Structure 1
Amino acid sequence: MTPSALICSMPAVGHVGPLLVVATELQRRGWDVRLLTGARYRSMVEAAGIRFLPLPPEADTLDDIGTGDDVRERGLATINRGVERAFLDPAGPAAATLEHVLAEEPVDVVLHDMLFLGVQTLFGRPRSERPLTVMCGITAAGFSSRDTPPYGLGITPLRQPVLNRLRNRVLGVTAKAVLRPVHRSLDLFLAGVGAPPLNGAFFMDVLSRSDLLAQFTVEEFEYPRTDAPDNLRFYGPMATAAARPTPAPAWFDELDPALPLVHVTQGTVANTDYREVIEPTFTALADLPVQVAVTTGGRAVETLPPLPANAFAASYLPYDELLARTSVLVTNGGYGGLHHAMRHGVPIVIAGDSEDKVETSARVQHAGVGVNLRTGRPTPDAIRSAVQRILGDPRYAARARAIGDAIEAAPGAAGLVDDVEAMVAARG
Structure 2
Amino acid sequence: MSSVIVCSGPHDGHVSPMLGVARQLIDRGHRVRFLTGPGYEKAVKAIGAEFLPLGPGAEEPPKSTDATGLQAIRHGMRALVIDPARGQYLPLAAAIEAEPADAVLAEISFMAAAILVRQPLGTRPPVIACGILPLTLSSRDCAPFGLGLMPGSGPLSRFRNRALNWFVANVALKDTQRQVDERMRALAGVEPDGSFFLDWMRSAELFAQFTVEEFEYPRSDAPDNLRFFGPMSRHAASASVTPKPDWWGELDGSRPVVYVTQGTVSNADFTALVGPTLEGLADEDVTVVVSTGRRPLSALPPLPANARAAEFLPDAELLPKVSVYITNGGYGGLHYAMENGVPIVVAGDTEDKPEGAARVAWAGVGINLRTGRPKPDAIRDAVRKVLSDGRYRAGSQRIGAAIAASPGVDGLIDEMEAMLRKA
Scaled to the shorter chain, the TM-score interval is: over 0.9
What does 1:16-27 align with in structure 2 at a 5 Å threshold?
16-27=15-26
8 Å CA contact 2:138–2:145 kept in 1: the answer is yes
- How far apart, CA to CA, are the structure 2 residues paired with 1:30 and 1:244? 21
2:339 corresponds to 1:343: yes
- 1:300-335 per-position Cα deviation (integer Å, ceiling 9, x unaligned): 333321111221222233323321121111111111
Question: Given the alignment, which residue of 63, 66, 77 partners 1:65?
Answer: 63
**Count of aligned pairs:** 419
- How far apart, CA to CA, are the structure 1 residues paired with 2:416 and 2:252? 47
What does 1:301-316 align with in structure 2 at a 5 Å threshold?
301-316=297-312
Shift of 1:124: 4.2
- How far apart, CA to CA, are the structure 1 residues paired with 2:250 and 2:94? 57
Aligned equivalent of 1:168: 161
- How far apart, CA to CA, are the structure 2 residues paired with 1:320 and 1:233? 25
Aligned equivalent of 2:6: 7
Aligned equivalent of 1:204: 198
What does 1:70-219 align with in structure 2 at a 5 Å threshold?
71-158=65-152, 160-176=153-169, 177-192=171-186, 193-199=188-194, 201-219=195-213
2:207 corresponds to 1:231: no
- 1:214-248 per-position Cα deviation (integer Å, ceiling 9, x unaligned): 00111111111111111101111112243443343
Equivalent position SS for 1:139: coil
What does 1:356-395 align with in structure 2 at a 5 Å threshold?
356-395=352-391
8 Å CA contact 2:118–2:203 kept in 1: the answer is no
8 Å CA contact 1:261–1:291 kept in 2: the answer is yes
- How far apart, CA to CA, are the structure 2 residues paired with 1:125 and 1:323? 44
Give me the TM-score of the superposition, normalised by structure 1: 0.93
Equivalent position SS for 2:238: coil
Shift of 1:359: 1.2
Letter in structure 2 aligned against 1:189? R
Please, which moves more after superposition, 343-352 or 237-246?
Answer: 237-246
Shift of 1:155: 1.0
- How far apart, CA to CA, are the structure 1 residues paired with 2:101 and 2:421? 14
- How far apart, CA to CA, are the structure 2 residues paired with 1:123 and 1:387? 45
- How far apart, CA to CA, are the structure 1 residues paired with 2:54 and 2:303? 42
- How far apart, CA to CA, are the structure 2 residues paired with 1:399 and 1:351? 18
- How far apart, CA to CA, are the structure 2 residues paired with 1:89 and 1:255? 44
Aligned equivalent of 1:43: 42
- Cα RMSD, aligned residues only: 1.7
- How far apart, CA to CA, are the structure 2 residues paired with 1:341 and 1:220? 15
- How far apart, CA to CA, are the structure 1 residues paired with 2:298 and 2:127? 46
| Structure 2 unaligned regions, length at least 5 | none
Equivalent position SS for 2:322: coil
8 Å CA contact 1:95–1:120 kept in 2: the answer is no
- How far apart, CA to CA, are the structure 2 residues paired with 1:188 and 1:317? 42
8 Å CA contact 1:292–1:310 kept in 2: the answer is yes
8 Å CA contact 1:198–1:206 kept in 2: the answer is no
- How far apart, CA to CA, are the structure 2 residues paired with 1:348 and 1:230? 32
2:214 corresponds to 1:220: yes
Equivalent position SS for 2:247: helix
Aligned equivalent of 1:53: 52
Aligned equivalent of 2:275: 279
8 Å CA contact 2:357–2:368 kept in 1: the answer is yes
- 1:131-153 per-position Cα deviation (integer Å, ceiling 9, x unaligned): 11100001111011111111111
Shift of 1:128: 2.7
Aligned equivalent of 2:404: 408
8 Å CA contact 1:120–1:195 kept in 2: the answer is no
8 Å CA contact 1:65–1:72 kept in 2: the answer is no
Given the superposition, is the C-alpha separation of residues 121 and 318 from structure 1 closer, same or farther in structure 2, using an over 3 Å criterion?
A: closer
- How far apart, CA to CA, are the structure 2 residues paired with 1:126 and 1:180? 26
Equivalent position SS for 1:425: helix
Given the superposition, is the C-alpha separation of residues 33 and 389 from structure 1 closer, same or farther in structure 2, using an over 3 Å criterion?
A: same
Shift of 1:198: 4.2
- How far apart, CA to CA, are the structure 1 residues paired with 2:116 and 2:80? 20
Letter in structure 1 aligned against 2:221? D
8 Å CA contact 2:44–2:50 kept in 1: the answer is yes
- 1:101-135 per-position Cα deviation (integer Å, ceiling 9, x unaligned): 11111111011110111123323432233211100
- How far apart, CA to CA, are the structure 1 residues paired with 2:378 and 2:354? 17
Equivalent position SS for 1:307: coil
> Matched residues, percent identical?
49
- How far apart, CA to CA, are the structure 1 residues paired with 2:323 and 2:38? 39
- 1:357-396 per-position Cα deviation (integer Å, ceiling 9, x unaligned): 1111111111111111121111112211211221121111
Letter in structure 2 aligned against 1:33? V
- How far apart, CA to CA, are the structure 2 residues paired with 1:233 and 1:147? 18
Question: Given the alignment, which residue of 313, 327, 331 partners 1:331?
Answer: 327
Shift of 1:203: 2.3
